[in-house]
Structure 1
Amino acid sequence: MLDRAEIDALFPVDLPEPAQWEERYPPRQVPENAHVTRFGPSPTGYVHIGNIYVSMINQSIAHRSEGAYLVRIEDTDQTRVVDGAVERLRRAFEFFGVRADEDDNNGVYGPYHQSQREAIYLSYARQLLREGKAYLCFATEEELTDIRKRQEAAKLPTGYYGRWAIWRDADPAAVQAKLHEGAPYVVRFRSPDMPKPRAEFIDAIRGPLSAEDNRNDAVILKSSANPLRLPTYHFAHVVDDHLMRVNLVIRGDEWISSVPLHMQLFDALGFTLPTYAHIAPLMKKIPGGKRKLSKRKDFEASVGFYIEAGYPVHAILYYLRGLANGRLAELPLEEALEAPIQLDQCGSAGPLVDLAKLEDISADYIGTLTSRQVFDAVRTWAAEHDPKLVVVLDAERDLALRALAIEREGVDNPRKDLRKWSDFRQTYGFFFPQLFTSLSGASDDRLTSLNVAPVVAATFIRDLADDYEHLTDPQEWFSQIRELAAKHGFASTAKEYKKNPDAYTGSIREASQLVRVALTGSTRSPDLHAIAQALGDKEVLRRLRALAAPDEN
């Protein structure tokens, strides 16, 4: 073991002592049972919907207890840092309203980037070296590879431990010789000589857990060959959670196996171990089972998908909260968004992400909004994702509001055909002359499913256009279609037509659908009279005449 002077010579001469950091970052003044939580994303450029899920849980738990929720950028692996990634994370959190109480822009326990906390980590690494709880390791990549191969050949656990830890108890003279050569080294944690058979702890979600205790001498400070001496995640999170006074660590369950090492590090540094809560990952159903929602395989894993598709934020948050705590899915949306998430109600099995369920929730939510609220939301979404639609909405604001009001306002059961803002073009686009393509004659493919002869369709629609009255009363308005249909050989009811199909050209249903397709381009739409009123008489006539026009061929 090197003496103190030799150890201190490896670090900057003005490096603060740990006591100075403890003074700078004192215990928080929060209620006794308050939870201080953190979310630590890596700035890799990709924002997973699971990031929103876990950060939402962190925020809710902290706020319910009058604690604090912070975001700490874990960028110690500089090879994975992507330019602009932090800004994308910030925008995602802002979009979903999962704002941190402390982050780059606010908080006294920063910096909130691990890459900016180098001096802090060096202070505590030096302390462990002084106390003999860490040591310098000069093992090369070739030596480490050879160790791993020999362990595999002997069917032993792989790692740097026991007799395989070739620098654990090296002669100080050998260490000094390597330092004199300028050989690069890492700092390794000296795991306990006598580890427990099992490490036991209480998980706030899963209850009592145990795992094989750690016996690996994990790297805590990366290679001295790097200008920036950064720690590994294992060491950094221990130091940061202590100094930021985080007392509840909510993170993915992939970290359960690392808890024994983390417990040893907290103990070696003399820190109080926080409570751990390991969240099950979001899952995707696949044939024969399910798997973790993957950023490489699943488009719905990306936050960008939900933003670009235009799912309402409140609907997404309601859905995610229901995945976290099933009871919240049974509450009305507004109540569920206010209700606290409870860790003991988070399952240990990963919840399934079901887009069909999300769309149902989203449709129900949009169904509660007024036409003006929907218009504003669609326009806000389109400003970012569909600029051409913005031009149409601005030019036809009154028409858009009339269209959106159909079967939405003043009814007990509003339409739910709009599930996300990107559906607006498909669902309401036919209202706008700029977006609607009128039928080009009675042989237009969009009429095929009606099984009405083109000549019959053209004649019927032409006569309707010639005598069309833009009546405000729905019954009177439809009567003109019914009476004209009878003159053109359409049965008055579908039942009557079914009894004797050879006697009719179709039923009133087909006649009505001819008008519907002429006005909307589809056999499915809101109330036909309401559509006509929203379009106005001139546009109705223009569309009828387009269908009635002789085919060019």
Structure 2
Amino acid sequence: MLDRAVIDALFPADLPEPAYWEQQYPERSLPEGAQVTRFGPSPTGFVHIGGIYVATIDRSIAHATGGSYLVRVEDTDQSREVEGALDQFDRAFDYFDLRPDEGGEQGDYGPYRQSERERIYLTYARELLRQGKAYLCFATPEELADIRHRQEAAKLPTGYYGGWAIWRDRDAAEVRAKLDEGAPYVVRFRSEGRVDAKVSFTDAIRGRLEHEDNRNDVVIVKSSANAVRLPTYHFAHAVDDHLMRVSLVIRGEEWISSVPTHLQLFAALGFEVPTYAHIAPLMKQIPGGKRKLSKRKDPEAGVDFYIEQGYPAEAVLYYLRGLANGRLAETPLPEALAAPIRLDECGVAGPLVDLVKLDDISADHIATLTGEQILTAVRAWATRYDPDLVPVLDARREQALAALAVERDGVENPRKDLRKWSDFRRAYGFFFAELFQPVAADDEQLGGLDPRLVRAFAADFADRYQVLDDAQEWFGQIRALAAEHGFAPNAKEYKKNPDAYPGSIREASQVIRVALTGSTRSPDLFSVAGALGAEEVLRRVRAVAGAQS
């Protein structure tokens, strides 16, 4: 074992002792049963919707128990950091209203970026070295590769442990000689190195679990060849969770295999172990089964997909909460968003992400909103993702509200043609002259009607058009005109003798519908005409007729 003086010389002379950090980050004064949770995003790629899922659970449990929810950026692997990833985190937290109680510049237990906590980690690494619970390792990449190759050839568990850990029990003189050479080293944790040993622990979701114990002397501080000596995730999380006084760690089930290592580190550092809760991953249905929602394969895995498409945050959060606790999926949205998520109701099988179901939930939610609320949300979304729409909405605000009122205001079952804000152009764009492309008499949507008949019908409709308050009387204009132009009064008559008519009243109505909306499917035609106004109705019908407006 190295002398304390040799160990201390490896670190800054002014590095504080552990007691200093314990004083800087004291036990929290919280109500009994309060939970401190943390979400630890890594800026190595885009934000997975599973991250929002975990953060939602973190925040709900912390707030329900009177605790605190913090976000700690785990950026010790700076070689893999992706530019713009942190901005994406901020965008996601803002959009889904998951801003933490602590994080960034806010909170008394920061810094909340691991790359800014180097001195803290070095204090505890030095302490483990002083106690002989860690050691310096000068093994080269070539030596490590050779060890692995020989283990595989002998069909032994691979890793750096026991007799394979070539620097674990080296004489202090050899270590000092390497230091004098200036050879790069890492700091490794001295595990018990027991092969085939088991360890058990209690998971807040899964109950009592047994897992193979850690045998490896894991690296806890990366190579001294780097200007900044950052810890590995395993070591950093143990130090941070202790000093930030995190009591409940909620994370994906892929971390279960790391628990034995973490338990050993907490024990070596003399820290109380937090409660762990490992949630099942979000899944996707595929032919023949299901698989994890994949960053590489599934657009809906990324948080930006939901933001760019304009799914209301409330609808997505409601859906995610229902995946976590089934009872919340059966609860009305406002109550479900306010209700606490319970870990004992989280399943151990991965819930399926179903965009069709989310679309239905989102459409139902949007149908409860006022026109003003929808317009405000659409405009905010369009500012970033459809900027050409913004000036139209600003200039035609009353027109937009009138459009949104069609078959929504004052009806028992409002239209549900908006599932997300990006649907607005498709569903309501035809209400705006700036966004509407006039239709020609030979448009294929008119079902092959003779363009000469279409033009004549449209011209007569425009010449005789009256603004009427009664829907039946308004539609009577189309009915009367259809009879004059030889259309059957109903589909039944037309079916009896199709050669006698160009179509039925349905086809005649479609001429006006397509003229006004550009589609054979639209809201109630009388309501559409009212929202457009007589001037715009005539302009569009005359365009079909081939006349100047």
Could you tell me the TM-score, scaled by structure 1's length? 0.97
- SS for the counterpart of 2:495 is helix
Please give the residue correspondences for 1:30-429 in structure 2 after superposition, counting only pairs within 5 Å.
Answer: 30-192=30-192, 194=194, 197-429=197-429
User: 2: distance between equivalents of 1:411 and 1:199?
Assistant: 62
Deviates more, 1:258-267 or 1:467-476: 467-476
Which whole-Å deviations, capped at 9, do the CAs of 1:198-241 have from their partners, x for residues lacking one?
Answer: 11011111111111011010001111111111110000000110
Secondary structure of 1:98's match? coil
SS class of match (1:437): coil
Q: Distance in 1 between matches of 2:243 and 2:393?
A: 52
Q: Secondary structure at the match of 1:91?
A: helix
In structure 2, the partner of 1:512 is 509
Contact 2:60 2:341 in 1 (8 A): yes
Given candidates 497, 501, 521, the residue that maps to 2:498 is 501
Answer yes or no: is 1:482 the counterpart of 2:479: yes
Stretches of structure 1 lacking an aligned partner (at least 5 in a row): none
Coordinate RMSD, CA, aligned: 1.4
In 2, Cα distance between equivalents of 1:79 and 1:10:
24
- Work out whether 1:544 is the aligned partner of 2:541: yes
C-alpha distance in structure 1 between counterparts of 2:453 and 2:326, whole Å: 56
Checking the alignment, whether the CA contact within 8 Å between 2:193 and 2:216 is kept in structure 1 is no
Distance 2:445 2:510 in 1: 11
Deviation at 1:496, TM superposition (A): 2.2
| C-alpha distance in 1 between matches for 2:348 and 2:187 | 35
Is the contact between residue 193 and residue 214 of structure 2 (CA under 8 Å) also seen in structure 1? no
Give the distance between the partners of 1:478 and 1:509, measured in 2 at CA: 12
SS in 2 for 1:328: helix
* Aligned counterparts of 1:421 and 1:219: Cα–Cα separation in 2: 48
In structure 2, give the amino acid aligned to 1:144: L
CA distance in 2, matches of 1:262, 1:97: 31
The answer to whether the 8 A contact 1:222-1:231 is kept is yes
Normalised TM-score (structure 2): 0.98
Question: Cα offset for 1:310?
Answer: 0.8
Whichever residue aligns with residue 54 of structure 1, its letter is V
SS at match of 1:410: coil
Letter in 1 for 2:251: R
Q: Name the counterpart of 2:444.
A: 445
> 2:488: which partner in 1?
491
* 2:458 corresponding residue in structure 1: 461
Partner Cα separation in structure 1 for residue 124 and residue 265 of structure 2? 11
For 1:456, the aligned partner's letter is L
Greater alpha carbon shift after TM alignment, 76-85 vs 34-43 = 76-85
Select 2:523's aligned residue among 516, 523, 526: 526
Report if aligned partners of 1:45, 1:86 keep a CA contact under 8 Å in 2: no
Higher deviation after alignment, 174-183 or 189-198: 189-198
Deviation at 1:473? 1.2
Q: Name the aligned partner's letter for residue 444 of structure 1.
A: D
- 1:108 and 1:339 map into 2 onto residues whose CA distance is 28
Q: Which amino acid aligns with 2:442?
A: S
Structure 2: which amino acid aligns with 1:291? R
In structure 1, distance between residues paired with 2:145 and 2:208: 36
In 2, Cα distance between the equivalents of 1:395 and 1:114? 48
Aligned pair count? 548
Match of residue 23 from structure 2: 23
| Contact 2:199 2:212 (C-alpha < 8 Å) held by counterparts | yes
Give, as a single letter, the amino acid of the residue that structure 1 aligns with 2:216.
N
For 2:195 and 2:276, the matched residues in 1 are separated by: 21
Q: Unpaired runs of 5+ in structure 2?
A: none
Cα distance, 1:446 vs. partner?
Answer: 3.0
SS in 1 for 2:290: strand
Deviation at 1:550, TM superposition (A): 7.9
Aligned AA for 1:415?
Answer: R
Distance 2:490 2:398 in 1: 36
Measure how far apart 1:196 and its partner are: 7.6
1:468 counterpart letter in structure 2: Y
Equivalents in 2 of 1:193, 1:533: separation in Å? 80
Matched-pair contact (CA < 8 Å) for 1:45–1:88? no
Distance 1:387 1:45 in 2: 27
Aligned residue for 1:439, secondary structure, equals coil
Structure 2 residue identity aligned to 1:443? D
Q: One-letter code of the match for 1:446?
A: Q
User: Aligned letter for 1:319?
Assistant: Y
- Contact 2:105 / 2:111 at 8 angstroms: preserved in 1? no
Which residue among 469, 481, 492 is the counterpart of 1:472? 469
* Residues 222 and 232 in structure 1, CA contact (< 8 A), matched pair in contact too: yes
Q: CA deviation at 1:346?
A: 1.1
**Corresponding residue SS for 2:434:** coil
- Report the Cα distance in structure 1 between the residues aligned to 2:458 and 2:263, rounded to whole angstroms: 79
Which residue type is aligned with residue 462 of structure 1?
A
* One-letter code aligned to 1:479: G
Structure 1 segments (4+ residues) deviating >6 Å: none
Q: Deviations over 1:254-313 (max 9, x none)?
A: 110000010111111111111100111111222222221122221111111111111111
Q: Secondary structure at the match of 1:290?
A: strand
Q: Kindly state the Cα deviation for residue 344 of structure 1 after the two structures are TM-superposed.
A: 1.1
Any conservation in 1 of the 2:324–2:346 contact (CA below 8 Å)?
Answer: yes
Instruction: Describe the superposition over 1:381-428 as per-residue Cα deviations: whole angstroms up to 9, x where unpaired.
Output: 111211111111111111111111001110000000111111111111
Q: What code does the residue aligned with 1:508 have?
A: I
- Structure 1 residues 430-441: aligned runs within 5 Å: 430-440=430-440
Q: In the aligned structure 1, how far is the partner of 2:126 from the partner of 2:105? A: 30
- Distance of 1:391 and 1:550 partners within structure 2: 29
Distance in 2 between the 1:521 and 1:421 partners? 20
Percent of matched pairs sharing the same residue: 70
Q: Answer with 289-298 or 260-269: which moved more.
A: 289-298
* Aligned residues of 2:34 and 2:62 also touching (Cα < 8 A): yes
Q: Secondary structure at the match of 1:506?
A: coil
User: Quick one: which amino acid aligns to residue 360 of structure 1?
Assistant: D
